[in-house]
Structure formats: C-alpha cells, structure tokens
Amino acid sequence: MRKLFSAALFYLTLVGSVAAAVNVPNIYYDDTAPATLVYIYDTNGAKVPFQMNSPGMIGDGGTDNAAAFQAILTNLATNGGSVILPCGDYVIKSSTTATIAAGKRMEIIGSGRDCTILDFQGAAVDGPFLTQTDQYGSSAMRHITFRTDQAGTRTAIHLKLPTGASSPGTSVYNDYEDLSFVGSDAHGAQTKYWSLAFWADDISSVNFNNNLSYGPTASFSGTVYKLNGDSTHSKYSVLHNINNLVVQNCGTCIDVGDWTQGIQINSPNFTGVNHAVLVGAGYTGIGDQLNIVGGQFGFNTDHYIEIDSPYYDVTVTGSRFVLATAAKEGFRGQGVNFSFVGNTCLSTIAVGVCAHIIDSGAPTGHSPGIIEGNSVYGPATGFVLDANVTAMLGPNSYQSVTTPITNNSTAAPTTPKGVIDASVSPTGYIGEVVESYVPFASAVAPTSTVVSNVTSVSIGAGDWDCRGTVDWLPTNTPTLIEASISTISATNSDPAGCLHQATFVAAGQQACAVNSVRLNNSTSKTVYLVQVANFAAGTMKAWGALTCRRMR
C-alpha cells in the first residue's frame, strides 16, 4: 500500500455517498485494488474508499466522459473542494461550464501532465468555461494535458468574471500549473492545436506556472495566454504571474488586452512565433507594469515583443533575442517609461533590429526610457529611436552591426544627472575614479636616461580616460625630461605625453603634465606613470600623480 497525500481537508465525492468535507489524515493507494480507488483513513481510523475519478470518469481513450466531467465541475464550483484524476485518457465530446459560487475554491489535480489527459473531441467542443460569481471565488488546475482534435478553433480554459462585477483587484489567486496544451497529432507534423489555450477574461490574480504549448508546425497560429479587463466599466485585470512558460509555434503567444496592469513574465521560452508578447492598438485604458525577465526568443516572423498602445513602465531585461526575419524587431514599443537593459540580440544572417522605440504620443512629463548594458551581435541595426522619443542611451556593446543606433528623435537623448551630495561612483560604474599620488617625501630617484615608474594604478575592463603629472627636482642641470602613461612597466609610450628638451636652470624644480590618454580594454590592466630624464651630473628626484576615470 502506497501513501499518496498527508493530512489535509479535501472536498471529496465518496463511493456510494454524497459529497462531503472530510478531514483526511492520510490518503493511500491500494496496489491490489482497481486503479480508480484509494482508501481514506478518517480521523476515527475507519477505512473509506474514495473514487478518485468520480463520478464515473473512465480514462480508456474511448468512453465519452462529458457528463461525468460536467458533474465534477458543477459539484466543485458549487461546494468547493478538490478532485484528483489518476492517469488516463479521458475523452470529452461536449463543452462544459460551471459557475463558481461566491468565495468557493475548486481544484482539479491530475497525476502528471504526461499521464492525465483531458481529450476534447469534436468541432464545437471547448474545454471548461468557468465563471466566478465574485472576486473571492477561485480555481486551480494542475498536472494535466489538455488535448484537442481541432485545427485552431477551440478554447482550452476560459476563466471569467461577469461584466460589471466588483473590481477583481483583490481576488484570491487562481493557480494553473504544470499543464500542457497540445493537438491530437502532437507527436507528428502537428496540424491540430488550441486557438486559445488560456483566457483570463476580466480575471485578476492568476499564477500560470510551468506550462507548455505546442502549435501547428506549418504555420505560427494560436494564442497561449490572453488577458483583458472590463473596458465597459473601466475595471482593470491585474496581477498576472506567468512563469517558465514554454511555447513551440504560436501566433500571439501572450495577448495583453485593454485595461490590464501588473503583468510579470519570468523565464519564458518561445520558439517559432509571430509575436511572443503583443499589446494591441487602440486601447482606452492606461496599462502599466509589464515586466519580461530572462526570456528566450527564437525564430520570429514578426516583432517578438510589440507594444502598440501606450503601456507605462515596460521592462525587458536579461533576455535573448534571435532575429531571423528581415525588418523585424526584438522589441518594438511605445516609448513611455521603458527599460531595455541587459539583453542580448543575435542574428547570424545580419537582419532585424534589436529594439525600436516608437513615439507613444503620451503626455509630456513622463520619465524617459533607458537602453543600456545590451549586447548586440549581427543584426542590421542595434537600436532605433523615433521622433519625440526621449531615451537615456547608456553603454551597449556592438559587434558586426551595420548601424548601431538610428536616432530620429528631435529630442536629444538624455544623460544621467550629476550628483550634488559629494558621493563617488562605485566600482564598475561610469564616473569611477582610480588614482595614485606620490608626494615629494616619497619621490623616486631616477637614473639618467633610464625609464622608470613614478606610480601606477589598476583599472578594470572598460573605456577609461587617464591623465598624469610628474615633477622633478635635480641637483644639477638636466637637458631632457619626459613623462608618459603606459600599460607596460618602465616603458615610455609613443608619442610621449609630455617632453621638455632645453637648457634648464640648475637645481630648479620642473613639471610636466601628461594630457588625456584613452585606454579601452576588455580585461583589467595596470597603468603606469613613467618618466625619463637626462642629467649629466648630480642626482634627481621625481614624484607625481596619476588619475584614471571610467567613461563607459
């Protein structure tokens, strides 16, 4: 006998009994019993059989389970509770619906998406359509595959709050996790697929985690996740967490509708798409807070991320875009409070644009966008700024890029404001200063005509501006003094940074300022302030200062 679950409160349909709330200390599966039975040991120690796929679900790949599945939905939506479906191919040949009672939570839990399959068959057959009575009802489905035999005409899961209902902003979370959305020919040249896998229709607070979707192999069609608010009553749909979504072939993978806010997309993986994320045109609500982090975007026929209505506070970071189609872009969006930071754009066929910021037409006074820390390799163009777009263009790296930046903006790109608190830039940031000063008391003693170091500093990888000054005090009369900045110890640079060659006053102090030297290096380096002096007799002292400032 094998233990399945530890103590919990389940809403169960018992064999030969009506539904009831049972305080379950443990649930066991009896290996010698039929596969549809588990035994519940209640708080009194009594052994009670529970039909996991009750009432009457048969996973043989042929029996129509529509009535049984409808009964499960109705029961759970009315009373709340959980049902566990064991492995099986459960054919369903009619659409099913349910209305979740106020404050109730319903859950349907499979035994693994590779072995619990809800198999929807028929030209007019959708998956479950669940309507919440209020924002305090909720639902969850886990560890299940949703399969269709239709070519892009049906919806797998539709979750809806009635139009005009209370604002969903404080709703209980709905959890849809470890689900697969596939066609009945998923293991071949797939032509069957869901037109829409999951629809959050005026619903808020959704966790959509660790799910995958397969679309048609011959064309990029279908939508995986659609969300929208209630535009009629100006109510927002908020708090959508989409984590670890894997999509192969789709039209618009994530369709962000009007009146939406607070969308977090973490670690998605898209292969073969028209749009991975789309915010459509003509929206009346002001959407904001769309964050896309750590995405993998591979093989596009249109713009991977396209924002066609003003959507505030859009952040794309830590993502990788493989550009595969000419004139198409990794990111194309309205320029309102956006951040495109720390991404990689790659094209092995020299096409596409990494990011294109278009004029949003938004009111003035909003913060500009930021484009910095991106690595661009191979596309035709790195970044494009349309007219009236204000952006802070920070340091980005380019390799094999025809046009790094196309700036069509009449508003000059902004630069960071200067500090007014006497603070210093930390290591690795623009404005970082590394310096060394050798005072007269610690002056070096040069040998005539021999190049030697006065001082040195260590700088990290980056683009640096270095300057220096050397002072000498001879006891006799020199005929030449020279100073320079070098990356090789005790070696003058060519040309010299400063050279004086004349008749000097005996025992008179001399000075030489080394002008700006640019050092652009990919690894850490030691920088030397070096000198050489020619004096026929006597001795010499040399001291000075070396300063390097990070430019980018």
Per-residue burial over 210-226, b = 16 or more CB atoms within 10 Å of its CB, e = otherwise: bbbbbbbbeebbbbbbb
When pLDDT is averaged across residues 205-211 and rounded to a whole number, the result is: 95
CATH number of 433-550: 2.60.120
Which pTM value belongs to this model? Answer: 0.69
Whether residue 162 is predicted with pLDDT greater than 70 in this model: the reply is yes
Residue 501 makes CB contacts below 8 A (sequence gap 6+) with 479, 480
When pLDDT is averaged across residues 253-281 and rounded to a whole number, the result is: 92
Percentage of the chain with pLDDT > 90?
49
DSSP 295-359: -EEEEESS-SEEE-S-EEEEEEES-EEE--STT-EEEEEE-SS-EEES-EEE-TTS-SEEEEEEP
Cα 198 from Cα 227, distance rounded (Å): 9
Residue 163: per-residue pLDDT: 63
Residue 477: per-residue pLDDT: 83
Confidence grade of residue 247 (pLDDT, cut at 50, 70, 90): very high
Residue 106: per-residue pLDDT: 93
Burial of 30 (0-12, 13-18, 19+ CB in 10 A): middle
Confidence grade of residue 408 (pLDDT, cut at 50, 70, 90): confident
SS3 assignment, position 503: coil
Cα 195 from Cα 150, distance rounded (Å): 9
Helix (H) or strand (E) holding 68: helix 66-79
DSSP 149-204: -SBS--EEEEEE--TTPSPGGGPPPEEEEEEEEEETTTTSS---B-SEEEEEES--
Residue 417: per-residue pLDDT: 56
Whether residue 13 is predicted with pLDDT greater than 70 in this model: the reply is no
DSSP 134: S
Token code pair at residue 18: 């009506």
Q: Hey, where are the domains in the chain? A: 267-415, 433-550
Whether residue 16 is predicted with pLDDT greater than 70 in this model: the reply is no
